[in-house]
Structures are given as C-alpha cells and as structure tokens.
A = this chain, B = another copy of it.
Amino acid sequence: MIIQKTENSRISAFDPNNFSFGNTFIDHMIICEYDNGKWGDVKLVPYGPLMFTPAMMGVNYGQACFEGMKAYKDKDGQVFLFRPEKNFERINKSAKRLAMPQVTEEMFLDGLKALVDIDRDWIPQGEGMSLYIRPLIFATEEALKARVSNKYMFAIVATPAKSYYTEPVSVKISDHYSRAANGGVGFAKAAGNYAASFYPTQLAIEEGYEQIIWTDDATHEYFEESGTMNVFVRINDTIYTPPTSEKILDGVTRDSFIQLAKKRGIEVKIEPIKVKDVIEAQKNGSLKEVWGVGTAVVTTVFQALGYNGEKLQLPRLSEEESYAESLKRDLVNIQSNLSEDPFGWRVQVDHVLETA
C-alpha cells in the first residue's frame, strides 16, 4: 500500500457534536486503479477530487456498485468494524453481475483497516455514533461505446455518522412501480437501482408516505424490500422476511437480525410474504410490527401501511414489546462493544498507521 498522508488535516474543524452526515468527509480515502486487465497499487491519499471527463463510462453506462458499512468506537477508544467480510463478498457479487473486475481481499479489507486506522480520530464516540464507510467500484474509461469498460477505480470514502433516532414512518405498498426485474440486478448494490427508486419514492411522499414497500413487478402480490432496506413482518410472535433472491439484497443487517432473533428464541420464517396475508393480519389484529433494516439506520419502524388507497395503522409497541427495537438494541450493543460478541462479528482495527 502506498501511503500519502495529508498535510492539511481538517480534523480540527470537525465538531463531533455538530456535523452534517453524508457530506463531511474524513481526511483520507483509498483509491486503486484497474487497467490492462489488473489492479494497480492500493493508495491511501488525501480525500479530494480526481480528474474525470463527462465521457467517463461510469456515468454513461452505469457500471458502478458500492457497499455501506460502519466502524464503531467504544468507550475506551477501541475501534471495530462489523462483519466486513460480508461486504467484501457482496461487492464482488455486485461487480460480477455488472461485468466489473472483482477486488481482492487485500484491497478491500486492508484498505478499509488502513483508512479507519489513520482517520480514527474522525470516528465520533457515544451511543449510536459511527463512521459510515463507502467502498465502491466504478468504470473510469473515457469511451462512448455501450460495452464493458477497460478501466475502473476502486475507492473507499467515509463520513462520520450520527446517532439518529428515526420516528416511525408510513410506507406505501407499491402497486405499480418496482425496483427489480426477474433476471435483473436487484440483488446487487448496483448504482442504477438507487436512481430508479427516487421518482416512485417522491410520488409516494406526495401521497403522504415516507417510503415504499417494493413488491414483485409482475403481480405486486409479494413483499420484496422497503426503501433501501430489507423488510421484516411480525405476525403474532413470528417474524417473517422474504428469502434472498436475484431480486432481493442479501443484507448484512438482515442476516444479523435473523441470527439475533433465533438467539432470543423468536421464531423466524424466511419465506415469501404475501401482501394479502399482511393486510389480513392487520385487519384481524395479529399484525404486530413491520420494519426495515439496513446499515445506515439499523432499523426503521413502520406506523402505517398504504394499500389500495387506505392507510392501515400498525400498533405502537413499547421498546420492550417490540422485536424490532429489541433486536436493534442487541445489534447495536454488539457493534459498539457494549456486550459480548457470541457470533464473532466484531473486527478490531489495530493501531498501525496512526502511531507511525
């Protein structure tokens, strides 16, 4: 790894109690370029602009995929990543589906650790605080031909993330728009999947909802995902979530929730969820909770489902009664080193560069 430390650290201007998530960037970034059929040196460099023309294939043909993950600082200042090997595996699944070169474990995990290590001072401490990390791969060749690019960049950038409590939201069960086709790229964290979801979400917001529960594009009879999250439904005391497929992202938070629920002795059924069964359960009072899970917010609890022009209310459970809240607490405690780590999910980031 080639390391070029910044000579103009911005850390003194960073107030961990008052910053904007998503556009406050840490001092450094990882970059690595692919050309002539192979990846070059991994470089840790100051965060900043690079030179690209508007003919860059990444913005013309959408060969671009990413990961979202976090680093957490415990009360003693120790820094941990959470299940980073899952993100490593998944970025390569996404890359393969988009006909992009896969990255090596060394590029991904060593790059990640070096970046988090050198900029560990940027990780805010305290309940729910973290560093949000964005590894991505995108096509960089300048060419106006609709074909696979010959040049790519792998990069890791990061922004401090706040503890945010999210109010329960209302979600619309999609009856027209969809996010994934059979034989498509729904399972991948493909850049284009996100752009495609914005307009339908805007329409749902105009109708008084905050998010969309995506359903299958052919019949709209089955739940797929919710917003940019995996979705869980609780009927009586059983939790349901759809199986992963070529249309549904294999979420790290989803998988963690499943394991944590089983550990608590909660029955988890991984099976297709029919819209009509959820609506029926709401009508007969057996529908207890519906929520989304993802790295950014961990979980968002839903207070109402929009279906056929009706806004169907969900019960408001206490934190103790709520599986969504209990499992979120279990997860956050492991992530932040506030509890034991029975699954071996935490990966400590050693001091190597920072003390150098």
Contact (Cβ within 8 A) A155 B54 = yes
Partner of A142, one of B21, B25, B191: B25
Q: A99-B202, A181-B180 are in contact. Are A22 and B217 (CB under 8 A)?
A: no
A106 to chain B, nearest CB (A): 19
Chain A 194-221: CB-based contact to B (< 8 A → 1; otherwise 0): 1110111010000000000000011000
Of A62-70, A315-323, A327-335, A342-350, the one touching chain B: A62-70
Closest residue on chain B to residue A296 by CB atoms: B146
Q: Which residues of B contact A53 (CB under 8 A)?
A: 25, 29, 47-50, 157
Q: Does A58 contact B (CB under 8 A)?
A: yes
Q: In the complex, which residues 171-205 of chain A have their Cβ closer than 8 Å to any Cβ of chain B? A: 174, 176-185, 190-196, 198-200, 202
Closest residue on chain B to residue A95 by CB atoms: B199
Q: Which residues of B contact A134 (CB under 8 A)?
A: 55, 60, 144
Q: Does A263 contact B (CB under 8 A)?
A: no
A96 to chain B, nearest CB (A): 7
Complex: how many Å from CA A193 to CA B98?
10
Q: Which residues of B contact A194 (CB under 8 A)?
A: 60-63, 146
Q: Which residues of B contact A51 (CB under 8 A)?
A: 49-51
Q: Does A23 contact B (CB under 8 A)?
A: yes
Q: A62-B62, A217-B218 are in contact. Are A196 and B185 (CB under 8 A)?
A: yes
Q: Which residues of B contact A180 (CB under 8 A)?
A: 181
Q: In the complex, which residues 33-66 of chain A have their Cβ closer than 8 Å to any Cβ of chain B? A: 47-55, 58-64, 66
Q: Does A136 contact B (CB under 8 A)?
A: yes
Q: Which residues of B contact A178 (CB under 8 A)?
A: 181-184
Contact (Cβ within 8 A) B199 A96 = yes
Complex: how many Å from CA A192 to CA B196?
9
Complex: how many Å from CA A141 to CA B23?
9
Contact (Cβ within 8 A) A98 B199 = yes
Complex: how many Å from CA A159 to CA B57?
14
Q: Which residues of B contact A177 (CB under 8 A)?
A: 183-184
Q: A53-B157, A145-B22, A159-B144 are in contact. Are A183 and B200 (CB under 8 A)?
A: yes
Q: Does A31 contact B (CB under 8 A)?
A: yes
Q: Does A228 contact B (CB under 8 A)?
A: yes
Chain A 244-261: CB-based contact to B (< 8 A → 1; otherwise 0): 000000000000000000
Closest residue on chain B to residue A48 by CB atoms: B53
Q: Which residues of B contact A182 (CB under 8 A)?
A: 178, 217-218
Closest residue on chain B to residue A228 by CB atoms: B146
Closest residue on chain B to residue A22 by CB atoms: B145
Q: Does A148 contact B (CB under 8 A)?
A: yes
10 A-B pairs, CB-CB below 8 angstroms?
Answer: A23-B145, A51-B51, A54-B138, A60-B66, A63-B194, A134-B144, A144-B157, A147-B198, A178-B184, A218-B218
Query: Which A residues have a C-beta under 8 Å from some C-beta of B?
Result: 21-23, 25, 29, 31, 47-55, 58-64, 66, 96-99, 132, 134, 136, 138-139, 141-148, 153, 155, 157-159, 174, 176-185, 190-196, 198-200, 202, 217-218, 228, 296
3 nearest A-B residue pairs (beta carbon): A192-B192, A62-B191, A49-B51
